[in-house]
Amino acid sequence: MIQKYVYGTPFETEAVTVQMEAVCGAPAYGDISLENGFCFTCLLDAEDVVYGLGEANRGINKRGYRYISDCTDDPEHMEDKSSLYAAHNFIVISGTQTFGLFFDYPSRMTFDVGYTRMNTLTVTCENADLYLYVIEGKTPYEIVKQLRRIIGRSYIPPKFAFGFGQSRWGYRTKEDYREVAKGYRRNHIPVDMIYMDIDYMQDYKDFTLNEENFSDFPAFVQEMKEQNIRLIPIIDAGVKVEKGYDVYEEGVKNRYFCQREDGSDFVAAVWPGDTHFPDVLNPEARAWFGDKYKILTDQGIEGFWNDMNEPAIFYTPEGVQRAEEIVKEFFQDTQGKVSFFEAKDAVLGLSNNKEDYASFYHQANGRQIRHDKVHNLFGYNMTRAAGEAFERINPEKRFLMFSRSSYIGMHRYGGIWTGDNKSWWSHILLNLKMMPSLNMCGFLYTGADLGGFGADTTRDLLLRWLALGVFTPLMRNHSAMGTRDQECFRFEGVEDFRHIIGIRYRLLPYLYSEYMKAALSDDLYFRPLAFVYPEDPHAVQVEDQLMLGDEMMIAPVYSQNAAGRYVYLPEEMKFVKFLPDGSLHEEILPAGHHYVKIALNEVPLFIRKGKCIPLADFAECVAALDTEHLTMIGYPSSAYIMYDDDGVCKDYDNPSNRRILEFV
């Protein structure tokens, strides 16, 4: 059961798609105070578990820390970070009392999950203008499914997007892209996508192509497609301020950009230097910005990634002025009123500054609203702009789309990648733990920068991370400019990379089928073990293994120099290891704790008792996959219902998409 409560005058975020009447009175759980903004509190018993919060730091069980929904461009994902790029305000308390809470509030919101007091959950925000959805159910899993039912169907990408993608910030010319394509194809390492980072643009102007490097772009897109490789360009939130640039000129003329209080267009510096932000909360401006994607789809592009849409601000002219005064004073007299640290903070504090976010406005739902009041909706609505435009461009066709910043609701229009992680072992684990929480909030098409974005990767780190990426719907290797080369073919022993990525393709019939089933029935693709084995007291403790679909459990290795790892099996399972010679190691393991050996060039998985999964032959791209001749692995005398379709159209309900595969 779901009950909706209304406080004050909420902003209509359209996160929830089902019309519901708000009820009067106080929710059956916790206490609410409206004295000083909004505050929800409830006591937690020692054993209670708190799930949710989607893209947030730390564990699957969120207890013991404070998380702040405040979409932020911060590439330092250390343990002490409380805000990442997204705002996913859904939590489930599981224990003595089991209930879910979705706070539909578009600005900064704090979830103190036993941080100030270990036995207290406190959720606060500045303005008491929000919808609160209280969800009751027997289990956390049931509660999650109920939320998913009211927020609408998760985004479904085209099938090619389940292939492997290579990305790097720094590719500039056609030759750079050709070299990457060649590196993969020559070494027979599967690949389906190469991502185009900001350098494909002319001076970082959205919807343009560098004139010198990308003449006759459609022919180049075609050249890559002939090798079964799609080019996936990035689109940034800020539109460069430049006379004569049509997107800028149109936006200014039609007043489609966010404005300052005095009605002038707000200026924020990002990659292109000064930019204006399209007012994606204004439906007219949103449609205008969305239609711009057609410039690239007309040239053969079938997918995009939306970036810098928190929106990230490097600095503003006003901010520079403020900082300048402080720094000047320090330079004039280093022993004077302004300390070194104040001067330093004034410069460092130029980026993503609160004052800047409070100095521009949107025209949303017929009223003017200050950006900081709806800050967490920008990435959502930028991606919605694209999603809505794709429906106009070609309603029959699926486009690839994922975003950096998001809010619940955006899951209907695209997936997300988890932003600028690092080549750190701890970030493999963070990636793993975040996946089920993202799924709970509707984000199914998700993944991290495999190998790590910042810092220099190592061969073993990349191999281990890829062995997790085999299972994440978005499987992309991406790295930052200035870091060590990270394309798989740049390392010694390319056969290991071919083997590991090849396993992704061999498993694709199953992974795609489970993705589609999850999306079509508002279910999870990744589940914490406790959702599948609620009666097992050990299962709830397991944060480094996940259930994938109904048949599989994964347990990747995430420590350097480890020859394997410990796993916990809540029931008997078949341990399957894909060996480098193409054969399988299969072994039935009883319930309980085990140490399993997993070499750097092996991928482990576990098949649940009495279940089976299909396996395809190795293929170098999704188009070459033979889904007709599949081998079944797992427990004999079982069957699997496989979902498959053409991967392009939206004919999801066609009964011929499902077939029964028997493992005799």
Picking from 218, 382, 424, the residue whose alpha carbon sits closest to that of residue 285 is 382
Taking the complex as a whole, the smallest distance from the CB of residue 377 to ligand GLC amounts, in Å, to 19
Cα(522)–Cα(525) distance, integer angstroms? 10
CA atoms within 13 A on the CB side of 511: 25
Cα(189)–Cα(437) distance, integer angstroms? 31
Taking the complex as a whole, the smallest distance from the CB of residue 442 to ligand GLC amounts, in Å, to 21
Cα(492)–Cα(497) distance, integer angstroms? 10
Taking the complex as a whole, the smallest distance from the CB of residue 206 to ligand GLC amounts, in Å, to 12
Cα(18)–Cα(21) distance, integer angstroms? 10
Taking the complex as a whole, the smallest distance from the CB of residue 9 to ligand GLC amounts, in Å, to 35
Q: Which residue has the tokens 């290795």?
A: 557
Taking the complex as a whole, the smallest distance from the CB of residue 278 to ligand GLC amounts, in Å, to 18
Measured from the CB atom, the residue of 147 and 234 that comes closer to ligand GLC is 234
Based on the shown chain and the rule CB under 6 A, indicate whether residue 307 belongs to the binding site for ligand GLC. Answer: yes
501 backbone dihedrals φ, ψ, rounded to 5°:
-65, -35
Q: How far is CA 303 from CA 141, 415, 418, in A?
A: 32, 12, 18
> What letter does residue 153 receive in the DSSP assignment?
P
Q: What is the dihedral of CA 508, 509, 513, 514, to 10 degrees?
A: -50
Q: Between residue 402 and residue 421, which ones bind ligand GLC under the rule CB under 6 A?
A: 404, 419-420
Taking the complex as a whole, the smallest distance from the CB of residue 167 to ligand GLC amounts, in Å, to 7
Measured from the CB atom, the residue of 52 and 272 that comes closer to ligand GLC is 272
Residues 505, 477 contacting (CB under 8 angstroms): no
Residues that contact ligand GLC, how many (by CB under 6 A): 9
Measured from the CB atom, the residue of 44 and 462 that comes closer to ligand GLC is 462
Taking the complex as a whole, the smallest distance from the CB of residue 383 to ligand GLC amounts, in Å, to 14
Measured from the CB atom, the residue of 282 and 418 that comes closer to ligand GLC is 418
Taking the complex as a whole, the smallest distance from the CB of residue 641 to ligand GLC amounts, in Å, to 37
Measured from the CB atom, the residue of 70 and 197 that comes closer to ligand GLC is 197
Residues 67, 86 contacting (CB under 8 angstroms): no
Binding mask 187-206 for ligand GLC (x = CB under 6 A): ----------xx--------
Measured from the CB atom, the residue of 411 and 478 that comes closer to ligand GLC is 478
Measured from the CB atom, the residue of 419 and 614 that comes closer to ligand GLC is 419
Q: Which residue has the tokens 């404005």?
A: 259
Residues 329, 337 contacting (CB under 8 angstroms): yes
- Please count the other Cβ atoms lying within 10 Å of the Cβ belonging to residue 659: 12
In the bound complex, which residue of the shown chain has the CB atom lying closest to ligand GLC?
Answer: 169
Measured from the CB atom, the residue of 92 and 235 that comes closer to ligand GLC is 235
Binding mask 615-644 for ligand GLC (x = CB under 6 A): ------------------------------
Measured from the CB atom, the residue of 478 and 608 that comes closer to ligand GLC is 478
Q: Which residue has the tokens 């693709």?
A: 525
- Give the SS3 label for residue 405: coil
Binding mask 216-255 for ligand GLC (x = CB under 6 A): ------------------x---------------------
Cα(186)–Cα(498) distance, integer angstroms? 11
Taking the complex as a whole, the smallest distance from the CB of residue 419 to ligand GLC amounts, in Å, to 5
Amino acid at 424: W
- Give the SS3 label for residue 335: coil
Residues that bind ligand GLC (CB under 6 A): 169, 197-198, 234, 307, 404, 419-420, 478
